[in-house]
Structure 1
């Protein structure tokens, strides 16, 4: 089946016992899937609403609900996560929540006899039945409506370009979420169209992939640049292909990919707004040019890339914010043209700030953003940065403020004072979401005054170790107690949850209960703390332990769950 035939997927006559997906050791058949789709379809048809927010951790459950909803003629809104703030923002946009969202009000119903086997008219390609959200990398996420035909066309082009090298039996494993356009297409819709088995679970850590590979090694990995630039020392040479999208894969990540994966990732360039545009598979000795996907036309106008594509709402020319130059039948990207911020009525180049800071050799990675100093006040520049080995040594010697002042002083040698950031956050790795992107929300959260200065020392799929500084100026010390400030227990639990969510992106959105809380010693201003987090995904449990040179301070277990 090609991507264009996704419209008739539910009427496909493939064998009922054929394997559709894997959920750990459990197998999901085509018959099981159609029955589940039918149950969801009946539930959506019985609901008076038209717009539904869908959020599932499990890709097989998500796919069944999505096709049930589409066949009921309803519209799916796909939030990027299930956090309370996201649910609150969705409420004015939708008629009901579905899946692992708090307050979910729609549940699958028993299907009518025979509905799983018949009565599945084709979906309408012109129907606008999907709303996705931009990643929020530079601003608040924006809602983007999609016609089904845009999705079906893109799936067909992916199979046309890559299907031959993958084969029909390759299993699909992913480190990215299906709640975003990249994961939706590559992790769910494309495997369904091509008849490839997909894994229902998202693998948050690349090292988990090795244990999940099928015995014959016939698998492909859907990953992000954030995952591929931090590959563990695990050989994954048996993978048939590795895909990367959602942002540029840094040049420095390529050697590790070649060494540990045995191949360069296939990079796909595009966005939520444009759909897929082009692809490349880099060779260290060859130019890094991009080849357009089938059906995508392109041209360069005033150094900007323009495209015309069936993946767009209309087949008309669209100017992107990507600078490019033509290389025969392919093109090379030259950076973004929109990387300007306006501070005190002056345009400030983000690229210039990044280049100047990286030139100090004190930072290995960074993001520049603007913050409002006060409500209604002027904006100021801020930096979230990962120090290099040299940078961490200076951080330890000078302290956070002193290190930030040093970097600002270096910037003032080449930039105007208005261009020099005033706020700094130094982290062991940039925060990223389930798509491997450092979004505006994750970056801004680092400047929350309630968040202590933290350094990540170790991170695996189930354990994290951090060093925290309980600074005297933290608001949590206010009122606890006059003359003898101590950190209240509720703040310690809040820190455990906060850093648990930062370290383990599969931690369920809903906090359920606490167990075994112990508070052995008080925490006072200025103390450096060690925080150990142990995550049990199968039990949705997060154990925490605070300690210092004085010994243990607090410990306990936190339980999480899905929707009500």
Structure 2
């Protein structure tokens, strides 16, 4: 097994020049390569000036080099989980520069070719990082981290889990982004310090995981959102002997996902509980006992404050207690999580707990997952439900329709909530929309109730194909003014629906490249019942769409997508 070297000393102490650090498209990237890239990035920061820099890279090796280069230049790195225009605009007021693959005209640091550096140990007291909460129920908050917090947590991970990965070589594969604290720790900093080479790209598709596992021993860093979508049509049995360990964090792992992992991967994931604010708190591996309690990590203390878990930890910036929003029950061997503390909202002059309403929905036999969100409707607020249906709910939806299912859920809730606060709007999905961190943000859930989104049902859904039934009521805003003499659905609406629904149903690359073979053959008028067929071809980055009805084909074409490039 390779020597363990703390992040503070990684470059100053070093490793052999030919020591493997990462893999990219079959090429081994060595420690000499890593040191050269870190030196070039360090020179770029020093030439630019300023102290705070936002990093956004697709390639994990380049990201790691830019990160270490920044720290050795005495800079603090800001780590946005996404780099959309609104986020970039906010960051401009907080940072002195940007580095990486960032779209549009944002000025970027220029890597300095041929730069050399003398490395000295880093200070654990240095303000090294600013990460952001997922914003699951509000605006993401910035969280500063000192280098010592990160190195202590990485040391904890190594103490707990190094032996599970066995002797080197054991590559580290990941479905999660290094732009989030979980991915940063598990797929970048821990491998660097423990001498485990990592794959430079993410693996968003199960087919990619199987392909990489065929190359030899590896550990998989994943999220519940990925683990619950493992198809049983792939040859997991042929590669699971190479899978040393699976890790899951970022949210609760469902019982269905746990059973899928046991059956397909041959093992239960190591689940890690924590947050951007606290770092890692506890872990468990439910090999047999599905109700297994959480075990605190070394040095972590927990207590209850009004049923909510409080934490004191070396992963926090000081020795104070941090109050979480998670309800828990302490047990002799650890603790049990009981869900989030109630999210309270005042509606119709009455206080209603959105968390309690979600728990009540899950108590029915109709839904498997549920989120309740506040919506604006005219001058008042109403509640909306986003749900993934269970078998009973799917049958009811198919046999009796959405209005009947809506009424059934409202009736179920009426035993616990007053009529004036019951949900008025419902959306039923095949899976909750998640971001790169595996989180369902409130903004993404609220967007599902946009008036431009048509009523729809998913009739078929596989990894690369989906068939949907779409209604086109006259109330859709697309019909207004287009055209005055005859209301029709514009072609741009069809393309928008295809792309947005494609992103909900498949894991698509972020960047829109172009459209091909787009044809609009027949007009779509109000009250037309459409069938939309979507086909995703990963190898070509192609999302093919086709709108049909009893009258024939209305529109078709291909949307080409790719990764964001600098």
- Global fold match (TM > 0.5): yes
The residue that corresponds to 2:481 in the other structure is: 479
**Do the aligned residues in 1 keep the contact of 2:341 with 2:355 (CA within 8 Å)?**
no
Equivalent positions of 1:352-391 (< 5 A) are 352-374=356-378, 377-391=379-393
Aligned to 2:309, the other structure's residue is in SS state strand
The residue that corresponds to 1:213 in the other structure is: 213
Equivalent positions of 1:113-262 (< 5 A) are 113=115, 115=116, 118-167=117-166, 168-216=168-216, 218-233=217-232, 234=234, 235=236, 237-238=240-241, 239-262=243-266
Q: Distance in 2 between matches of 1:169 and 1:247?
A: 30
Deviation at 1:201, TM superposition (A): 1.6
Aligned to 2:188, the other structure's residue is in SS state helix
Aligned to 1:131, the other structure's residue is in SS state strand
State whether structure 2 residue 330 is matched by structure 1 residue 330: no
State whether structure 2 residue 311 is matched by structure 1 residue 312: no
The residue that corresponds to 1:28 in the other structure is: 29
Q: Which has the higher contact order (CA 8 A, sep 6+)?
A: 1
Deviation at 1:431, TM superposition (A): 0.8
**Do the aligned residues in 1 keep the contact of 2:293 with 2:333 (CA within 8 Å)?**
no
The residue that corresponds to 1:452 in the other structure is: 454
Structure 2 unmatched runs, 5+: none
Change (3 A) 1:536 1:491: same
State whether structure 2 residue 270 is matched by structure 1 residue 266: yes
Q: What's the CA shift string for 1:286-314, capped at 9, x where partnerless?
A: 75111111221223344332221111111
Change (3 A) 1:432 1:191: same
**Do the aligned residues in 1 keep the contact of 2:340 with 2:355 (CA within 8 Å)?**
no
State which drifts further: 204-213 or 333-342: 333-342
Q: What's the CA shift string for 1:38-86, capped at 9, x where partnerless?
A: 2222222211333222212221222122222222222222222233333
Q: Distance in 2 between matches of 1:328 and 1:388?
A: 35
Change (3 A) 1:539 1:126: farther
Aligned to 2:553, the other structure's residue is in SS state strand
**Do the aligned residues in 1 keep the contact of 2:53 with 2:77 (CA within 8 Å)?**
yes
The residue that corresponds to 1:427 in the other structure is: 429
Q: What's the CA shift string for 1:131-155, capped at 9, x where partnerless?
A: 1111122222111111121111111
**Do the aligned residues in 2 keep the contact of 1:42 with 1:108 (CA within 8 Å)?**
no
**Do the aligned residues in 1 keep the contact of 2:267 with 2:287 (CA within 8 Å)?**
no
**Do the aligned residues in 2 keep the contact of 1:98 with 1:104 (CA within 8 Å)?**
no
State which drifts further: 337-346 or 417-426: 337-346
The residue that corresponds to 1:518 in the other structure is: 519
Deviation at 1:243, TM superposition (A): 0.6
Change (3 A) 1:512 1:334: closer
The residue that corresponds to 2:92 in the other structure is: 91
The residue that corresponds to 1:54 in the other structure is: 55
Q: Distance in 2 between matches of 1:295 and 1:316?
A: 13
CA RMSD of aligned residues (A): 2.5
Q: Distance in 2 between matches of 1:445 and 1:472?
A: 20
State which drifts further: 206-215 or 529-538: 529-538
State which drifts further: 56-65 or 190-199: 56-65
Q: Distance in 2 between matches of 1:364 and 1:68?
A: 46
Change (3 A) 1:458 1:223: farther
State which drifts further: 72-81 or 98-107: 98-107
TM-score (norm: length of structure 1): 0.91
Deviation at 1:255, TM superposition (A): 2.3
Q: Distance in 2 between matches of 1:76 and 1:459?
A: 40
Aligned to 2:6, the other structure's residue is in SS state helix
The residue that corresponds to 2:402 in the other structure is: 400
Q: Distance in 2 between matches of 1:61 and 1:552?
A: 46
Deviation at 1:563, TM superposition (A): 4.8
Deviation at 1:268, TM superposition (A): 0.6
Deviation at 1:469, TM superposition (A): 2.7
**Do the aligned residues in 2 keep the contact of 1:39 with 1:108 (CA within 8 Å)?**
no
**Do the aligned residues in 2 keep the contact of 1:434 with 1:505 (CA within 8 Å)?**
no
The residue that corresponds to 1:321 in the other structure is: 325
The residue that corresponds to 1:469 in the other structure is: 471
Deviation at 1:463, TM superposition (A): 4.5
The residue that corresponds to 1:66 in the other structure is: 67
State which drifts further: 20-29 or 241-250: 20-29
Q: Distance in 1 between matches of 2:132 and 2:93?
A: 15
Aligned to 2:259, the other structure's residue is in SS state helix
Aligned to 1:169, the other structure's residue is in SS state coil
**Do the aligned residues in 2 keep the contact of 1:2 with 1:156 (CA within 8 Å)?**
no
**Do the aligned residues in 2 keep the contact of 1:276 with 1:311 (CA within 8 Å)?**
yes
Q: Distance in 1 between matches of 2:89 and 2:400?
A: 42
Structure 1 unmatched runs, 5+: none
2:354 to 350, 356, 381: 350
Aligned to 2:415, the other structure's residue is in SS state coil
Deviation at 1:384, TM superposition (A): 0.3
Q: Distance in 2 between matches of 1:96 and 1:542?
A: 35
Q: Distance in 2 between matches of 1:169 and 1:282?
A: 26
Q: What's the CA shift string for 1:7-38, capped at 9, x where partnerless?
A: 12223432222221122323322222222222
Change (3 A) 1:454 1:222: farther
State which drifts further: 293-302 or 160-169: 293-302
**Do the aligned residues in 2 keep the contact of 1:3 with 1:156 (CA within 8 Å)?**
no
